[in-house]
A and B are shown apart, each in its own frame.
Chain A
Amino acid sequence: MIKIFDLTDVISIKDFQKKDIQYILKKAENLEKVAKSEEYSDELAGKILGMMFFEPSTRTRLSFETGMKRLGGSCVGFDGSVASSVSKGENLADTSKMFEAYSDALVIRHDLEGVAKFISDIVDVPVINAGDGAGQHPTQTLLDIYTIKRRFDKIKDLNIALVGDLKYGRTVHSLAYALGMFDVQMSFVAPDELKMPKETLHDLEKDNVKFYQTNNLKDVIDDVDVLYVTRIQKERFPDEEEYSKIKGAYLINHHLIKGKDLIVMHPLPRVGEISTDVDNTKYNKYFEQAFYGVPVRMAILKNIIKNKI
């Protein structure tokens, strides 16, 4: 396969074309053995990944770190809990300039939207966006798509429902956009107050992507191949009662999906949207999905760090 992925930064899934996504999926598959330590690699030996996690993260941060180390590289940086003492009131621009001097690529998570883009404009090393507020989280999208591809061996023509908080849940915006490139049937299942924002709908409409919107899970449950469930957070609702009502209406449990031919995904952590009685069933893909973060991020790291040499 010829090398076509030529992004220097990974900021938004909008920077990707379908062929770029396919390229990363392919590369990730080749790296699974290294990710599981069944094969050895030192391709990034001597390289340092700068990790600037202004907001706490477990899965994303650990999978970047694991991926970097499995490829022979190492990491420096901080995460949410110590972020404030690291920066001591220093502005982002200055902190990033320091990190640029210490590392070969930067991974950034921040609670403000547009931070990774801003930093990528002011530093010369490659920048990866690991989540900017309610904005983009492109590597999550790539691993989500990778999970689907690994299970069905295709993406085209699948029936995929995104469920839950589609307004604030940052993973679903990029995911909807990316799935739009693959000729899938998409539905957005959300309570009225947490519907997909107009930005995302605008992008899909512009590209003539068809989607179906409903607030009722029952409308789609019989036809879907993939239920992509997201966290519904309490603070989005005016009162406890409203929250419990919504939460109940979108709960995925074994009873609901039993006998159906589908998989359940979730970017994790969950806060009760998927009942634990799904965990030990064939429907559960969310733990595997979390593992796939490693090979997918390795594919990204390998490419953007190598590109700079």
Chain B
Amino acid sequence: MKVEAIKNGTVIDHITSNKSLHVLKILGLPNEDTNVTIAMNVFSDEVGRKDIVKIENRELDSSELDQIALLAPEATINIIRDYEVIAKDKVRFTNELKSIINCTNPNCITNADEPIESRFHLLKTSPILLRCHYCERLIDVEEIDNQFY
């Protein structure tokens, strides 16, 4: 597959197909001055259909990677310098994560007006199952996905 090459930045490859827009949401993209290329539902010999996101002049921090793992557990992160892939890594699951995802329990303290961030423990990876650190509510893949529409 040929898309515009970037000089410096990040390529997120092997994103679960049709999840690239959700991944962008996690990264706070698009914004006014970032060059982003998206390819959705492209065919790949390795994984069947996939999405790819290419972002110029941006490197991801580890908390962003934690979140991407929830939506696209197979994703590969490629760091591009001077048009070359200089580093490659798989997203990884952490046992505990602070998240932009909200607890689905409306009665949970994390949904009240308190200085508190939502926080989850990863119980299972395939399919993903999270437990709220505070109220112990279980959150499954579908409930995670629903938060991005």
Contacts and interface: CB of A to CB of B under 8 A. Distances in A.
Interface string B130-149: 00111111100000000000
Contact of B113 (A14, A91, A136): A91
Contact of A117 (B112, B114, B134, B138): B134
Contacts of A135: 135-136
B105 interface: yes
Interface string A253-280: 0000000000000000000000000000
B107 A12 contact: no
Given A112-B107, A112-B109, A118-B109, A202 B115 contact: no
B108 interface: yes
Contact of A118 (B105, B116, B136, B137): B116
Given A134-B107, A199-B137, A202-B138, A114 B132 contact: yes
Contacts, number: 57
Interface string A233-270: 00000000000000000000000000000000000000
> Secondary structure of the B side of the interface?
loop
Contacts of B134: 113-115, 117-118
B136 A92 contact: no
Question: Interface range on chain A: under 10, 10 to 19, 20 to 34, or 35 or more?
Answer: 20 to 34
Given A113-B135, A117-B133, A133 B107 contact: yes
A145 B90 CA distance: 47
B36 to A, nearest CB: 36
> Secondary structure of the A side of the interface?
mixed
Interface string B87-122: 000000000000000010101111011111000000
A132 interface: yes
Given A92-B114, A114-B108, A198 B138 contact: yes
Given A112-B107, A113-B105, A132 B135 contact: yes
Interface residues of B, number: 18
Contacts of A132: 109, 135
Given A114-B134, A198-B138, A93 B110 contact: no
A113 B135 CA distance: 5
B108 A112 contact: yes
Contacts of A133: 107, 135
A134 B137 CA distance: 11
Nearest to B129: A202
A53 B148 CA distance: 37
A117 to B, nearest CB: 5
A118 B114 contact: yes
A116 to B, nearest CB: 9
Interface in A91-110: 91-93, 110
Contacts of B109: 92, 110, 112-115, 117-118, 132
A82 to B, nearest CB: 20
Contacts of A114: 103, 108-110, 132-136
A136 B114 contact: no
Given A91-B114, A113-B137, A133-B135, 20 more contacts: A12-B136, A14-B136, A91-B115, A92-B114, A93-B115, A110-B109, A112-B108, A112-B109, A112-B112, A113-B108, A114-B132, A114-B133, A115-B134, A117-B135, A118-B114, A118-B116, A135-B135, A198-B138, A199-B136, A199-B138
Interface of A: 12, 14, 91-93, 110-115, 117-118, 132-136, 198-199, 202
Interface of B: 103, 105, 107-110, 112-116, 132-138
Query: Lowest 4 A-B CB distances belong to which pairs?
Result: A114-B134, A113-B135, A114-B135, A114-B109
14 contacts: A92-B109, A92-B114, A93-B115, A112-B107, A112-B109, A112-B112, A113-B109, A114-B103, A114-B134, A115-B134, A117-B109, A117-B135, A199-B137, A202-B138
